[in-house]
Structure 1
């Protein structure tokens, strides 16, 4: 039997998480989960619980990791805040293609799939989106303090715009849009922010890519 709290259990849970991200909740059977984790059905239930419990566990772990990574990436000095916001949209453009299995965000997958989940899963996703929006809003406010974004702009609305671009680019990537095209979308999304004249004057245009369509 695997120890759900040990190192081996962590590897198993990561494999199960990736299975859910690959095929969604509805498209993932208990046999798929057992195969992904290298377990028999009996061992799976004994160590980790059933499908719904496993989905909530992996979703919660994914959300915690995602929240922490974005909080760390968006935190920093005011003078570099605009660069961190730009890095956010660029990473959004590359997120799916940088994964060897072309897997998207588990949170986005949860929302797009539209399955009637346990209320705890719904609440965990809302919490994750709220926390990421909070990290973005703090970064937007830092850029406003430094004079790179219009101080009169509504910081939460700017954050929501960035999040919408993030989720939209993921869907486009999974539909087959390549990284070059997505990075152009990212640049357009970034240029649509309420940048101040000073910030725009410092931004160098992205060089044209030879042969790109």
Structure 2
């Protein structure tokens, strides 16, 4: 990987592409986790010296959260676009979304799971900022699923839509963990097929036959 050139002007680094540097950092945290990514590894991947790195991005924790923001813009926004922007058949949009997820896992693009899921598992228990970032991400994903379900359901109420959206969100996080653990297509696709069948069935059921409202809380 080519080093990122830098020039020093009044003590601050210049001459490098900040987003390109952040992309390298995102990949490090995504692949190795927060604790598994050293400042030395960041310096090596970016080609930026320690003083310049600190001047540009602050300490490791500050850089991590900037990388999280970059990950949202680079990966999450693109992934959720079909759910959030599509105004067609919502269930078809959900099926297409999970197809892209599975294909990405098998192709290797998502082999490290999801940075936000990894953040929730690794950092959230003792870092409130990480916990808040993970919660915000999961709520956004759930809202995207809920919006798509509302477009595809034939009379589902809000409580049921929220419950099914929560289920799909949980399944997605499970897929991310399965990807990181190295599972192949068959078990991952089986989980997706079961989740989508459940979502489609719940969306079509009359209100009186749906799951109790308590599960949505």
TM-score normalised over the length of structure 2: 0.77
Does the CA-based 8 Å contact 1:70-1:135 persist in structure 2?
Answer: no
Cα 1:177–1:71 shift into 2, 3 Å: closer
The equivalent residue for 1:211 is none
Q: CA RMSD in A?
A: 2.6
The equivalent residue for 1:156 is 162
Which residue, 54, 77, 84 being the options, matches 2:87? 77
Q: 1:70 Cα shift?
A: 4.2
In 2, the alpha carbon distance for the partners of 1:172 and 1:101 equals 11
Which residue, 144, 150, 172 being the options, matches 1:141? 150
In 1, the alpha carbon distance for the partners of 2:16 and 2:152 equals 40
Q: Deviations over 1:85-137 (max 9, x none)?
A: 11223233333333358222110110122466653332222212212211211
The equivalent residue for 1:13 is 22
Cα 1:66–1:84 shift into 2, 3 Å: same
Q: Deviations over 1:133-155 (max 9, x none)?
A: 112111111112xx2xx624611
Q: How many residues align?
A: 192
Q: 1:65 Cα shift?
A: 4.2
Q: Unaligned stretches of 5+ in structure 2? A: 1-5, 206-217
Q: Unaligned stretches of 5+ in structure 1? A: 198-213
Does the CA-based 8 Å contact 2:98-2:192 persist in structure 1?
Answer: yes
Q: Secondary structure at the match of 2:17?
A: helix
In 1, the alpha carbon distance for the partners of 2:96 and 2:147 equals 15
